[in-house]
Structure 1
């Protein structure tokens, strides 16, 4: 008999659709990114990357992408959907686990949120391209990032909402110069 748990944790078909190599590659990229993130904060020894939770995040991501591709009859999805669905499932599964409780534990309370937040910020800035912002633009961007981080920590979200937030940011970037010219 199929139970709800079996239905929702059945990842059959993903290997045929995406290949084991693609799925393992996504897992490896996330694992490496989390390790680098933790090392950059000097907390690698204080955390554990739950392989089980990370595996579920990756498989749930590919399950959603499969559904999207079938529903929209698309061969590929755009980068906004990729980062949005990755973010959603990483936050939902929370693969970064605190091992050591000490005076820094409060600062580590939102490690999963900090990790995905860093990925989103990098995505918004063009994957590490060096961008110099004017003081006014920098202030606005930092305010946006503060609001986004707050949202990731304390608000309800889903992948579609995350996609819309990022799309709104991208749209703002596209029209910013035209809007400034009209204000002058």
Structure 2
């Protein structure tokens, strides 16, 4: 008499008795569900569960991307803050240097050497968002301003345009010298 496939697998030792019973029970269950018409519902529920799992993993990926982007922005802000803190010149003085931030005219009190370098475009002014008592504007060297601009191009940085000798042929005051200490 021929043995069934299940008996053959058991005799070879590829399947144990427990697995054989479990497989037989699953087969009977599936046949019953197909006869009663609930087998399709079972497949539909499995498909819906798989679709929900796929949607959840996609949502999780998107949330992870957003968290990584936020962490990167925080890291860039910390780098900018550190660059400003380490390279800002302590140039508190009595001379008022006026500059435009957006549509408002702002001012910063600096000493004469810094005022000269700012007006020639050798130094830059940057907005600093430090602790609440220490926010405002700082004076930094141009290489540091370039590094900050590479990290965050939208960050406010003001570099005065260096104005060379612009001679106009029709200028009636061309022969007159402008004094160096003239301030507006």
Bin the TM-score by the shorter chain: under 0.3
The answer to which structure has the higher helix fraction is 1
Kindly indicate whether structure 1 or structure 2 has the higher relative contact order, using CA contacts under 8 Å at least 6 residues apart.
1
TM-score (norm 1): 0.22
Query: Structure 2 length as normaliser, TM-score?
Result: 0.22
